[in-house]
Structure 1
Amino acid sequence: MIDKLEFLIALSRERHFGRAAEVCGVTQPTLSAGLKQLEGELGVLLVARGSRFQGFTAEGERVLDWARRIVGDARAMRQEVDALKRGLNGHLTISAIPTALSMVAALTTPYRARHPNVTFTILSRTSAEVLQELEDLAIDAGISYLDNEPLGRVATVELYRESYRLLTAADGEFGKRERITWAEAGRVPLCLLTPDMQNRRIIDQLLRGAGAEVAPTLVSNSLQVLLSHVRTGRWSSVMPSILVETLGVGERVRSIPIAEPEVHHLVGLVVPRREPQTPLVAALVAEARRFAARGIAPA
């Protein structure tokens, strides 16, 4: 039955029979037949069918919840047995919000030093995508905000407190200042992340709370694009301190703390709420706790 539950989860993730079959490494007729067999075994219709995928029935949604639990537990069991035989080995997929990508190496590097037979895939995702991929068992763990928007059924480890800086030209209006307010930050033409990013929603809320208009002159879903514009000295932006500390901004740009109010948001590791965790995820949680205990991230 496990393989049929895997089909159901893949269909939920892809919302398309052909793509779900491709992800599962089977033909579309094989996937469709497996789902029909599962419906026959359970005695209920799970998938609303037509010429294309139309969604799940109410019974299908409930079975999907159970499928995620059962498949997750089955994967954990296989991984634990394998770890007992061969030591910790395998592959970890981690999705991180763009503003946290620069610190992922602080987890993966010591992890791999302890467990050299583990490999990694690191993906850039929005906070909503991180949670959805965890729900769909598409990733092993995520790094996202912990305290700004609902997280759902996950376990968390706080990594650092995100604070914010204005990046602006050294010879610009605020180039000589040591601190500025959010109201003042709103007076500078800004380039910001796109509105689907939680960091952008946080910044918009803070600017509006200070009475400033949110009217960026450039938006992008890529921090690399924003940083490349900022480094010209002709553009300004608001970015987390940890990103500035890690990547730097160049000689033509000042990084100025934003106060009044001085705001912090928690960023941390998010993993499925499951006991026991898979050995790979349990080792990542331990690494995250060691990182947090060192307290090396900028506040």
Structure 2
Amino acid sequence: MIDKLEYLLALAREEHFGRGAESCGVTQPTFSAGIRSLEEALGMPLVERSSRFQGFTPEGERVLEWARRIVGDMHAMRADIRALKRGLNGLLRIAAIPTALATITELTTPYRRQHEAVRFSIQSCTSNEVLRRLDNFEVDAGVTYIDNEPIGKNRVVPLYDERYRLLTAADAPLGRREQVSWAEVGQIPLCLLTPDMQNRRILDRLLRNAGTELRPTLESNSIVVLVSHVQTGRWACVLPEKLAQIFGLTPRLRAIPIVEPEEVHAVGLVLPNREPVSPLVAALVNVAEGLARGQAALA
């Protein structure tokens, strides 16, 4: 039964029978037969069928919720047993929004100090993609905004507050200022993240509230692309304070606080709300809670 539930999760993840079968390492006939067998066992259709995948029936959506819970518990049980036998080891998969990537070392470094046999996979995703991958068991935890858009029923561990800086060349417009307003930021050539990023949606709202018509001259889903263009002196961009600090600011490149208003958004660790959690995730929560306590002490 577990393998058939995993087929269902793969179909939800890939939205295609062929790709779902490939992700499970089986042939498409075996994959399709497994899902039909699950439908027969439950006595109801789960998938809307035509020449291609059309989605799930209402019953299928409900079964999908149970499948996520059951398969997640099975994976957690296996990991728990392995940890009892061999100590904490394996692969910990984390999805993070691009603006939080610079802070991941604050989780992975103390984690590895305590558990050297654990390996990490860090994926850069939009906030919506972080939640989708959590739902479909593609990752074990996510790092994303926790106060701006819905995060569903997931468990949250707050990590830090995000504040914003104008990253610009010192000899560019506004480059010599000690602080700038959002209205002023909206008047200079900007390169920004793409609109599918939650950070961009936050900036759009702030600039719109400041009475500025936002017309970025360059958009990218890569922070490296944005910063490399700022370094030419012809562009500026808006970055979270923590992210701006990692680029080794020189006298030629400045990160200027943006005020009027000073916007703050919470970023946190997000994980499925189920008990018990796997040992890998439990250890990550311990590290995150320690990091949060340290941030609170500095506030």
TM-score (ref. length: structure 1): 0.97
Distance in 2 (CA, whole Å) between partners of 1:171 and 1:197 is: 29
Q: What is the aligned partner in structure 2 of residue 183 from structure 1? A: 183
**Identity within the alignment, %:** 63
Partner secondary structure for residue 254 of structure 2: strand
Q: What is the aligned partner in structure 1 of residue 255 from structure 2? A: 255
Please state how far the C-alpha of 1:215 moved relative to its aligned partner: 0.5
**Which digits, 9 at most, give the CA deviation of each residue in 1:133-181, with x for residues without a partner?**
1111111000000000011010111111000011122112312211111
Residues 1-299 of structure 1 correspond to what in structure 2 (within 5 A)? 1-295=1-295
**Which amino acid in structure 1 is aligned with residue 14 of structure 2?**
E
Contact 1:8–1:64 (CA under 8 A) maintained in structure 2: yes
Distance in 1 (CA, whole Å) between partners of 2:168 and 2:222 is: 18
Distance in 2 (CA, whole Å) between partners of 1:72 and 1:258 is: 43
Distance in 2 (CA, whole Å) between partners of 1:240 and 1:297 is: 21
- Decide whether aligned partners of structure 1 residues 273 and 291 sit closer, same or farther in structure 2, where only a CA change above 3 A counts: same
Distance in 1 (CA, whole Å) between partners of 2:206 and 2:17 is: 43
Partner secondary structure for residue 122 of structure 1: strand
Please state how far the C-alpha of 1:112 moved relative to its aligned partner: 1.2
**Which amino acid in structure 2 is aligned with residue 35 of structure 1?**
I
**Which amino acid in structure 2 is aligned with residue 142 of structure 1?**
G
Contact 1:227–1:249 (CA under 8 A) maintained in structure 2: no
Instruction: Give ranges in structure 1 of 5+ residues lacking alignment.
Output: none
Counting matched residue pairs gives 299
Please state how far the C-alpha of 1:250 moved relative to its aligned partner: 3.8
Contact 1:242–1:297 (CA under 8 A) maintained in structure 2: no
**Which amino acid in structure 2 is aligned with residue 192 of structure 1?**
L
Please state how far the C-alpha of 1:251 moved relative to its aligned partner: 3.5
Higher alpha-carbon deviation: 99-108 or 166-175: 166-175
Contact 1:146–1:266 (CA under 8 A) maintained in structure 2: yes
**Which amino acid in structure 2 is aligned with residue 106 of structure 1?**
E
Distance in 2 (CA, whole Å) between partners of 1:246 and 1:288 is: 20
- Decide whether aligned partners of structure 1 residues 252 and 297 sit closer, same or farther in structure 2, where only a CA change above 3 A counts: farther
TM-score (ref. length: structure 2): 0.97
Distance in 2 (CA, whole Å) between partners of 1:87 and 1:133 is: 27
- Decide whether aligned partners of structure 1 residues 234 and 252 sit closer, same or farther in structure 2, where only a CA change above 3 A counts: farther
Partner secondary structure for residue 56 of structure 2: coil
Distance in 1 (CA, whole Å) between partners of 2:172 and 2:60 is: 58
Instruction: Give ranges in structure 2 of 5+ residues lacking alignment.
Output: none
Contact 2:189–2:234 (CA under 8 A) maintained in structure 1: no
Contact 1:230–1:249 (CA under 8 A) maintained in structure 2: no
